[in-house]
């Protein structure tokens, strides 16, 4: 049985990722933030001390986004966001890749965001973390390609989740939808299916890429449908 190590598997998008892999007969190991606090990057090694590190797929979906305008932004917010969204991914790849290298096979996906490519007022911590994550993915793809390990990002646009509701008033969500050519939010399943494809046997040559699933938001330069 193939095995997936998944972070953020109890969140909205993570639960959908867990389901799509389980439906395809994967064993999914997905610790909660209580079992593995990714903010404590130095402690990630300890979690794996007595545990199996033999996974064919690793998906990093854990992430936080606590908006704060630049004038109020704290270093603590930036550090926490960078640790959970980006540095923990790097630490986990260090721990999980040796077995993949030994077997000359592996798939790694980081769930990023369109804010890995563009910015938004009040999102400095989040935007910085996702830009760094995207760079890390590209570099890892180059370093691990010789061992047949494919490393990619999936960047959702605006997804119908609690995170979107928490960070945007209903009126703002309406305005966001007007800027999406497909004129709706993504479902969590739509994001999970992209992640699954990149990790499946159907993907044998895509690596170092950032697959944007945003209903056309980035293609339209965030303008939506303008006639
Ligand atoms: N929602 C969107 O519209 C959207 C758009 C673009 C990108 N994304 C990205 O998609 C991913 C999932 O988003 P979501 O909407 O599903 O978020 P969510 O429902 O808030 O889930 C976040 C997940 O991250 C985990 N997490 C948070 N802090 C952690 C910590 N210190 N240690 C370990 N795990 C921690 C949570 O674990 P526990 O539940 O165990 O605490 C939870 O499972 C994130 O990376 C986010 O940036 C989301």
pLDDT at 22 over 90: yes
Place of tokens 């990149």: 198
Which of 7, 33, 34, 85 to probe ligand 1 with, by most ligand atoms within 8 A of CB? 33
Kindly give the number of the ligand 1 atom that is closest to the alpha carbon of 39: 31
Model confidence band, residue 226 (pLDDT cutoffs 50, 70, 90): confident
Measured in whole angstroms, how far is the alpha carbon of residue 95 from the centre of its chain? 18
Bridge-based pairing state of the strands 3-7 and 149-156 = unpaired
Confidence of residue 204 (pLDDT cuts 50, 70, 90): very high
* Closest among 86, 94, 90 to 63, alpha carbons compared: 86
pLDDT of residue 225 exceeding 90, the answer is no
* Cβ atoms 10, 30 nearer than 8 A: yes
Both tokens of 218, joined, read 């980035």
Instruction: Tell me which H or E stretch contains 89.
Output: helix 88-103
Q: What is the DSSP letter of 187?
A: P
Q: What average pLDDT does the segment 39-59 reach?
A: 94
Nearest CA to ligand 1 atom 33: 33
Q: What residues does each domain of the chain span?
A: 3-159+187-213
Ligand 1 atom 17 nearest Cα: 11
Regarding pTM above 0.75, the answer is yes
What value, to the nearest 5°, has the Cα angle with vertex 27 and ends 25 and 28? 120
Q: What percent of the chain has pLDDT over 70?
A: 100
With a CB cutoff of 8 Å and minimum separation 6, the contacts of 191 are 13, 16, 17, 111, 154, 156, 159, 213
Q: What is the mean pLDDT of the chain?
A: 97
Give the homologous superfamily in CATH for domain 3-159+187-213: NAD(P)-binding Rossmann-like Domain (3.40.50.720)
Q: Is 196 a catalytic residue?
A: no
Distance CA 208, CA 210 (A): 7
* Model confidence pLDDT, tens digit, residues 124-138: 999 999 999 999 999
* Nearest residue by C-alpha to atom 47 in ligand 1: 63
């Amino acid at each position: 049985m193939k095995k997936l190590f998944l972070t953020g598997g109890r969140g909205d998008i993570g639960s959908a990722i867990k389901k799509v892999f389980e439906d395809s007969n994967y064993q999914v190991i997905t610790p909660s933030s209580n079992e593995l606090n990714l903010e404590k990057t130095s402690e990630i090694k300890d979690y794996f001390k007595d545990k199996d590190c033999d996974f064919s797929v690793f998906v990093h979906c854990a992430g936080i986004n606590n908006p704060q305008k630049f004038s109020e932004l704290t270093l603590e917010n930036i550090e926490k966001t960078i640790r959970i969204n980006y540095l923990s991914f790097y630490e986990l790849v260090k721990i999980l890749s040796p077995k993949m290298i030994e077997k000359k096979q592996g798939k790694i996906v980081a769930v990023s965001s369109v804010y890995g490519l563009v910015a938004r007022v009040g999102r400095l911590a989040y935007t910085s973390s996702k830009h760094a994550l995207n760079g890390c993915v590209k570099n890892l793809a180059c370093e691990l390609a010789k061992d047949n390990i494919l490393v990619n990002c999936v960047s959702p646009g605006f997804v119908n989740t609690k995170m979107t509701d928490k960070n945007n008033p209903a009126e703002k969500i309406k305005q966001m939808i007007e800027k999406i050519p497909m004129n709706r939010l993504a479902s969590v399943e739509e994001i999970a299916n992209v992640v699954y494809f990149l990790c499946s046997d159907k993907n044998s040559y895509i690596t170092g890429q950032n697959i944007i699933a945003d209903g056309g938001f980035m293609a339209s330069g965030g303008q939506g449908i303008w006639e």
